[in-house]
Structure 1
Amino acid sequence: MPVYTVHAPVTDNADFRATDRVTFVRDGFHAWAALFGVVWLAWHRLWLALVGWIVLMIVVDVGMVRLGVGVPAVFLVDALLALLLGFEAASVERWTLSRRNWRQLDIVVADDEEAAERRFFDRWTAKQRVPSNDQPAVDRGAPPPTRDIPGQAFSRPPPLPQDEIIGLFPEPGASR
């Protein structure tokens, strides 16, 4: 089953009105990105990745031709780079979203994008409806200090062990 990551722009108030901006990115191999890399990157408006892809392909092709590599080898390297783009297309899209200050909200496993949307929004609306406790959590840290009050045994801390070693270490003075 495909895995989708759910992304939304960072806003101060994420409520039901922000649902039209939520984006689902399918993880896995993107065949169209492998076959038509430049067109796929332009279609998804990944402009920086598009420029980087064009520069990479030009540098690799010109470098290999200047080194005297044959045409079949240049074609093989281009095909391998296209496969790499097909496998990493979702990562490039997620990277671009994070550069645009979007955050990842969730990960959804579903058969298709419509089922992923339904599953995500069912969970998200259920979280929105749960009444939350607005009291901030208080970190109380260590237990309160004890006082040495005569007659109260609980006010004295327990004595530290003098001859015992805690853990997997041997007894002091014992052979190894």
Structure 2
Amino acid sequence: MNRVARISLLVVTVLLLLILVAAAAFTAIMRRPFPQTDGSITAPGLQAPVDVYRDDYGVPHIYAANEHDLFFAQGYVHAQDRFWQMEFWRHISQGRISEIAGSSTLKSDIFIRTMGWNRMAENTIRYYEENEPEYLSVLQAYSDGVNAYIAENRDQISVNQTI
């Protein structure tokens, strides 16, 4: 084999190895966001064991001994399945979608801020604090479930959240 052929073979081999490594890394990164659908998860903040079953369509069914654990598990499962969507809608409702999508959505942000969606949400929370505080415990349990998922799975957050 002449020198040119050997160098060509070496270059092709190195390129194939690089492509293989890149494909493996891409696959590993893209599979990270899939939720755990079997086994056990221990989440600090639960008062009693909670069972979460997924049907053939992947829809979670939550069985809990009390209301706190039900909403905690609901928040945990929502974050597990839809964290990217929750974060996306949070940005939209605060008039901050341009932080993700760029300047093309700036008019939407201005409109949403003008409409005061975030202010309305804050007023709603204030209303519940003053008039119906029992509902806040449900919202807090749900939020605690979301935050528990984030705290336990920071390295599993999907690729679109790491960008």
- TM-score using structure 1 length: 0.23
- Could you say which structure has the higher helix fraction? 2
| Larger Rg belongs to | 1
- Could you say which structure has the higher strand fraction? 1
- TM-score using structure 2 length: 0.25
